[in-house]
Amino acid sequence: MPSLTPSQTIGPFLHIELPYEGEEALVAPNHPGAIRLLGTVTDGQGDAVDDALIEIWQANAAGRYAHPEDSRQDVPLEDGFTGFGRCATDHEGRFEFLTVKPGPVPGPDGRMQAPHIDVSVFARGLLNRLVTRIYFPDEGDANAADPVLSLVEDEAGRRTLIADQDDGALRFDIRLQGEGETTFFVI
Amino acid sequence: MTSPEEQATVKDEKEGTVASELTRNGGVLGYRRDDLEINPPYLYPDYASTRTRAPKRPLVPMPHTLSEVTGPVYGDTRIGELDHDLTRQHEDEPIGERIIVHGRLLDGDGKPVRNSLVEIWQANAGGRYRHQGDQHPAPLDPNFSGGGRCMTDDDGHYEFVTVKPGAYPWQNNPNAWRSRHIHFSLFGPAFATRLVTQMFFPGDPLFFQDPIFNSVRDERARDRMISSYDHDRTVEEWALGYRYDIVLRGREATPMEE
């Protein structure tokens, strides 16, 4: 069997190729239930990370992934919704997506997971991507029962994974290191 | 672009229904973790930027759920006719040593990863990126942007035409130079298989002092990031060939039939 090709940093010049026009908008502005999902990426000194790339992956509002391995015919796909978004941070470390809240999807043991968005963070200084998840502030009961969120032992660590309401938008700040450090997962 | 519904059918016919059966039961066939140990650490102080960006809290291991074994499905729709040829994106040809970079995208079982997006970006032949953040006093080339993309074919094969990137200095430590490299971005079939890496060139004298290259501690793993000169793909009186196969994570073993 062939062996894995190692990961390397995305470096500071990713903008030459990767951000693709319109990829930060998973839905049109007039889409029912469209939400702005935004945040700032900061490093261990509290400085803005202005050369990060954020990617998100999510199910549609009904809880179906636009992918062949989600073969649940009883949950509808939505025409034109890919579930993937990509956004480079700006000079103040900010990113912003336009998307919808995903529906719940199955988890281990047949239990449903709380609505969530998978996130990849790439940047200069990150030799591997960082993976985290965005959960929703209005899903208290589902979040408390979520099999992945429950793996995070401390309350402060779980708290970093739940977005905040922010003036009609949803805010999810990403702190790579230090105080308030975002919980990251090994997948 | 094939719809996910259609792809599910095609996949089921080709590879059986194990994965979709598992999905219906709430379980999934995850991706292997054992070979991830060859990846670089997050904190590698020789590469200065890791010092303020590597997380300090331990990462939390999590099982693969439906969210991690699915991932973006790209069609051909975002690929332009010349996107794979970085030497034909402008009125004239870029300066530099013309090269063909090609190889196969494979999964951990050696099977081709088909119809998958490959993206690359690189410095020009003088070692300068077309990017406002690159202040290296080497000339920009008006005929070179440095970005390309293509889809793998049914054999997992991809191919780019470009020029050999130059080495360039960076601020990491005194007299630091990056080895010549091309950045690669790969998706594979799932969120779990996403990979961003760099392709290097054989025999580069700068390897010894390049902390990004050396952050991969296992020598054999490091060598897998180095392309090989490919005389079979070298085109007479036109371009040198380089081969670079990329291996993504493999799937966990299929559960035993009961």
Q: Which of residues 19-48 of A touch B (CB under 8 A)?
A: 20, 43-45, 47
pLDDT for B88-105, tens place per residue? 999 999 999 999 999 999
Nearest chain A residue to B130, by CA: A16
Question: If 0-12 CB within 10 Å is exposed, 13-18 middle and 19+ buried, where does residue B192 land?
Answer: buried
pLDDT average, residue stretch B79-93: 95
Residue B14: its pLDDT value, please?
Answer: 40
Counting Cβ atoms within 10 Å, is residue B74 exposed (0-12), middle (13-18) or buried (19+)?
A: middle
pLDDT digits (tens, 9 = 90+) for A45-64: 999 999 999 999 999 999 99
Verify whether the Cβ–Cβ distance B63 to A108 is below 8 Å. yes
Question: Mean pLDDT for chain A?
Answer: 96
In a domain, A183, yes or no: no
Share of chain A above pLDDT 90, in %: 95
Looking at every residue in chain B, the average pLDDT score rounds to 90
Restricting to B residues 152-181, those with a Cβ less than 8 Å away from any Cβ of A are: none
3-state SS, chain B, equals CCCHHHHHHHHHHHHCCHHHHHHHCCCCCCECCHHHHHCCCCCCCCCCCHHHHCCCCCCEECCCCHHHHCCCCCCHHHCCCCCCECCCCCCCCCCCCEEEEEEEEECCCCCECCCCEEEEEECCCCCCCCCCCCCCCCCCCCCCCCEEEEECCCCCEEEEEEECCCCEEECCCCCEEECCEEEEEECCCCHHHCEEEEEECCCCCCHHHCHHHHCCCCHHHHHCCECEECCCCCECCCEEEEECCEECCCECCCCCCC
pLDDT in tens, A89-100: 999 999 999 999
The β-bridge partners of B161 are: B85, B100
CA B256 from centre of chain: 33
pLDDT of residue B10: 39
| Amino acid sitting at position B144 | F
| Beta-carbon contacts of residue B21 (< 8 Å; ≥ 6 apart) | none
Nearest to A5 among B4, B195, B213 (CB): B195
The CA dihedral of B121, B126, B131, B137, to the nearest 10 degrees, is 160
Alpha carbon B118 to chain centroid, angstroms: 7
Evaluate whether residue A6 is within a structural domain: no
Residue type at position B209: Q
Closest CB to A181 among B28, B55, B145: B55
Instruction: Tell whether B51 is within 8 A of chain A (Cβ).
Output: yes
ipTM surpassing 0.95: yes
Which of these is catalytic: B183, B222, B224, B233? B183
**Active site (annotated) includes residue B178:** yes
The class (CATH top level) of B4-247 is: mainly beta
Give the Cα separation of A22 and A91 in Å (integer).
19
Query: Annotated catalytic residue: which of B44, B129, B158, B242?
Result: B129
Q: Quick one: pLDDT at residue A42?
A: 98
Annotated catalytic, B102? Answer: no
Interchain contact, A67 vs B4, CB within 8 Å: yes
Region A120-126: mean pLDDT is 98
Give the nearest partner residue to B35 out of A3, A17, A127, using CB atoms: A3
* Closest Cα in chain A to B30: A187
Based on the number of CB atoms within 10 Å of its own CB, is B18 exposed (0-12), middle (13-18) or buried (19 or more)? middle
Domain boundary assignment for chain B: 4-247
CA–CA separation, B151 and B196 (whole Å): 16
Catalytic annotation on B129?
A: yes
Q: Is the pLDDT of residue B16 over 90?
A: no
Q: CATH number, domain at A126?
A: 2.60.130.10
Q: Does residue A54 belong to the interface with chain B, where contact is any CB pair within 8 Å?
A: no
A186 touches B: beta carbon within 8 Å: yes
Cα–Cα nearest to A115, from A123, A126, A106, A125: A106
pLDDT band at B8 (very low <50, low <70, confident <90, very high): very low
Give CA–CA dist B215/B46, Å, rounded. Answer: 8
H or E element at residue A97: strand A94-99
Residue B25 has pLDDT above 80, yes or no: no
Interface touch A69/B194, C-beta < 8 Å: no
pLDDT tens-digit series, residues A129-154: 999 999 999 999 999 999 999 999 99
How many domains does the structure of chain A reveal?
A: 1
Q: Do B38 and A13 touch (CB under 8 A)?
A: no
pTM (two decimals): 0.94
Domain that holds residue A99: 14-175
A-chain residue closest to B197, CA distance: A8
Closest CA to B203 of B237, B180, B182, B184: B180
End-to-end CA distance of chain A: 21
Which chain B positions have a beta carbon within 8 Å of A129's beta carbon?
Answer: 194, 196
